[in-house]
Amino acid sequence: MTGNVLVNGKKRRLDYGVAAYVTQENTLLGTLTVKETITYSAHLRLPTILTKEEVNGIVDATITEMGLQDCADRLIGNWHLRGISGGEKKRLSIALEILTKPKLLFLDEPTSGLDSASAFFVVQTLRYIALDGRTVISSIHQPSSEVFALFDDLVLLSGGLTIFSGQANMALEFFARAGVPCPSRRNPSDHFLRCINSDFDRVTMNDSQRIRDIPKSSDPLMNLATAEIKAMLVEKYKSSEYATRTRARIREISSTEGPMIEKRSGSQATWWKQLSTLTKRSFLNMSRDMGYYWVRIIIYLLLSVCVGTIFFNLGTDLNSILARGACAGFISGFMTFLSIGGFPSFLEEMKVFHKERLNGHYGIAVFILSNFLSSFPFLAVMSIATASITYYMVEFHSQFPRFVFMCLDLLSAIAAVESSMMIIASLVPNYLMGVIVGAGYLGIMMMTAGFFRLPPDIPKPVWRYPISYLNYGAWALQGEYKNALVGREFDSREPNGPKLKGDYILTTIAGINLDHSKWWDLAAVVAILVSFRIIFFIILKLKERASPYFRTYYAKHTLKHLKKRPSFRKESPFPSKRHQPLHPLAFQEGLNSPL
C-alpha cells in the first residue's frame, strides 16, 4: 500500500505534538494514582513557563474531560495493588495524550477488553474530543450497536482490501444493495464482521455435517463462504457510488489547503525539568513497588546476618585466610547476583518508557540518567546495610576508611549488575527469557571473577582475555581482597614462625598483582558501570532508528503468509455442498435481497 499523508492539504510528517498515538495495551505505572500520573505527564510535556497553578488547572480539566473525577486519587494498580477498572485505565491512557491538545489522535482498539458500558463511555468521550475540533482515527473490532452509532466515518478492511469507506450510517445501505442486508435485531458490526472474517469458514467447515442435516437455513450467510461474500463486496464497492463519493471527497480535501500546523516537539519542557520530573516519578514508583527494591533489601539484610554469623570473628589464624576469601567472594559474587530480582519491575518501567518515547515525551538520555538517580538511594541502602553487618561481624578490618571502600566497592558492583540487566532488558524484553539470559550472564561473570579459579589459571583465550578484564566482578573482588588483606598479618604455620603478611598471601595464594592500588580497581568497576549505561543508550538509539525498517520487513513477511489464508482468496477453498447457494439470500424473514 502506497500513498501520501496530507495534513491540511500539505504533505508533511506526523511530528510529535501534531499527532498522538494511544496503544491498545494500557501501559501505566500501577503504583501511581490517576492524578499523579497525569500531573507528572503534564510537567514532562507542558511549557516550563507555566505556573504550578496553571498546570494543575490543565490537569483538573483533563480529568474532568475524561470523566476520571471519581478515581482521581486511586492507585492504578499492579500485581500487588488493587487499582482502577479497565475502562478507567483506557480513559487515563487517552487523557495522557490529549494534554497537549494534538490535532490528530490515533487509537489502537480503544474498546478491547472492555464491557459494553465501559466501551460506550470511552467512545463517547472520543466523540466529544472530535467535536472539540480534533481528528480522531481509531481501529476497532466488533463494537456494540450503541458504539457503532457514534461513528462519523467508517472504513471496513479485510485482507488488505477495502470493503467499504464512507459515512458510517451508509454502510447498512451498501450491504443491503450488495445482496447481504443486515437482518433485523442484529448488531450491524456483527453482521459486517461475519461477512468479511474468514475465520467463520473454518468454524463452519468443522461443523458442516451438522449444518447439512438442517433442511433449510434461515441465514443467507450459511449458503456462501466468506471468501465469496468478501470478493463480491469488494467488486460491488469498487463500482458503487460510495467509492465514487469517497474518491471525490479525498480529492476535495487534498486540494483544500488549510493553515499550516505549527511544528513542535512532543514535550515543551526543558531538559532539566524533564530530568527532575522523571527522577521524582521513578523514585516514587520504586518506593511503592515492593518487588523493585524492598524485597531485595530485606533479603540483603537476612543474608548479611547469615554471613556475619557463619563467618563471625574469623581472627588471624591460618584457617581464617581461606575463610576471608570465601566470605569476600560470596559478598561480591552472590550478593550482587540478587540484583537480577529487579528485572521484572524494570521491564515494566521500560514498557512505559517505550510508550512515552513513541509520542516524544522525553529523550533516551533523560530516561537513563533519571533511572540511575532514582535508584541510587536504594542501592546505597543495600550496600551500606550489607557492609555494616558483615564488615564488623566478620572483622575484615578495624579501620573506618576500609569500611567506606567496601561500601563503595559493593555499591559500584551492584550498580554495574543493574546496568547490565538494563542492556538485557533492551535486547530480550520478556520476563522469563530475560531472567534466564541474565542469570547465564551473571554466572559467567562469577566463574571468571577470580574466586572459583585463580586469575593466572584462567584459560587465556576468551576467558582471561578479554572477558576477565571486562568483568566488573573480577575488579570488584580484586579490590575487596586488597582492602581486606593488605596491611594485615596472620599467624604462621609454625608456632613461633614469622607472621604471614597479607601482601604475600595476595600474590602467592590469590594470584593478584599489587602493581596498582585498590582504588584503581574501584575506578575500573565504575568505568564498566558507565560503559554499560552508554551501551544501553546506544542500543535504544539503534532500535529506535532501525524499527521502521524492521516493521517494513515484518509487514512484507506477514503479507506473504496472509496471502495463503482464505481471506485473501477470491474463490471459496471449500467445494462442499454446504457452500452452494441452495437457498435464496432473501429466505430470511424481513429481507428483500436483489439476489
- Kindly indicate the confidence band of residue 299, based on its pLDDT and cuts at 50, 70 and 90: very high
In this prediction, residue 262 carries a pLDDT of: 62
Distances from the Cα of 124 to the Cαs of 33, 366, 446, 467, 522, in angstroms? 24, 36, 57, 59, 59
Question: How many Å apart are CA 102 and CA 83, to the nearest integer?
Answer: 28
pLDDT at 310 over 80: yes
What mean pLDDT value characterizes the chain?
Answer: 84
Q: Containing H/E element for 106?
A: strand 104-108
In this prediction, residue 255 carries a pLDDT of: 80
Residue by residue, what is the 3-state secondary structure of 303-351?
A: HHHHHHHHCCCCCCCCHHHHHHHHHHHHHHHHHHHHHHHHHHHHHHHHH
In this prediction, residue 541 carries a pLDDT of: 92
Question: How many Å apart are CA 583 and CA 576, to the nearest integer?
Answer: 15
- Kindly indicate the confidence band of residue 499, based on its pLDDT and cuts at 50, 70 and 90: confident
Cell numbers for 183: 437482518
Number of other CB atoms surrounding residue 259 within 10 Å: 7
Q: What is the DSSP letter of 577?
A: G
Residue by residue, what is the 3-state secondary structure of 166-231?
A: EEHHHHHHHHHHCCCCCCCCCCHHHHHHHHHCCHHHHHHHHCHHHHHCCCCCCCHHHHCCHHHHHH
How would you class 65 by CB atoms within 10 Å of its CB: exposed for 0-12, middle for 13-18, buried for 19 or more?
A: middle
- The residue ranges of DSSP E strands in 394-443, in sequence order, are none
pLDDT at 582 over 50: no
CATH T-level topology, domain 1-151: Rossmann fold (3.40.50)
For the segment 543-549, the average pLDDT, to the nearest whole number, is 83
Most confident of the ranges 106-115, 216-225, 443-452, 582-591: 443-452
Q: 370-399: per-residue pLDDT in tens?
A: 999 999 999 999 999 999 999 989 988 888
Q: Where are the domains of the chain?
A: 1-151, 168-258+565-595, 271-479+516-551
Determine if residue 476 is left, alpha or beta; phi over 0 gives left, psi from -120 to 50 gives alpha, anything else beta: alpha
- Contact (CB, 8 A) for 275 and 366: yes
In this prediction, residue 376 carries a pLDDT of: 95
Residue by residue, what is the 3-state secondary structure of 229-274?
A: HHHHHHHHHHCCHHHHHHHHHHHHHHHCCCCCCCCCCCCCCCHHHH
Q: 434-493: per-residue pLDDT in tens?
A: 999 999 999 999 999 988 888 888 998 899 889 999 999 999 999 999 998 888 888 887
Question: How many Å apart are CA 398 and CA 392, to the nearest integer?
Answer: 8
| Residue showing cell 435481497 | 593
Query: Of 404 and 78, which is predicted with more confidence?
Result: 404
Q: 322-334: per-residue pLDDT in tens?
A: 898 899 889 988 8
In this prediction, residue 224 carries a pLDDT of: 64
Most confident of the ranges 261-275, 378-392, 491-505: 378-392
How would you class 28 by CB atoms within 10 Å of its CB: exposed for 0-12, middle for 13-18, buried for 19 or more?
A: buried
- Kindly indicate the confidence band of residue 223, based on its pLDDT and cuts at 50, 70 and 90: low
Cell numbers for 4: 501520501
Distances from the Cα of 1 to the Cαs of 61, 160, 591, in angstroms? 40, 9, 37
In this prediction, residue 508 carries a pLDDT of: 87
Degrees, nearest 5: CA angle 317-319-325: 110
Question: How many Å apart are CA 220 and CA 203, to the nearest integer?
Answer: 16
- Contact (CB, 8 A) for 527 and 519: no
Most confident of the ranges 132-136, 276-280, 570-574: 276-280
Q: What is the dihedral of CA 438, 440, 446, 448, to 10 degrees?
A: -120
- Contact (CB, 8 A) for 233 and 178: yes
Degrees, nearest 5: CA angle 243-246-251: 125
Whether a cis peptide bond, with omega within 30° of 0, leads into 466 is yes
Q: Report the share of the chain in percent with pLDDT over 90.
A: 36
- Contact (CB, 8 A) for 593 and 586: yes
Beta partners for residue 165, in sequence order = 155
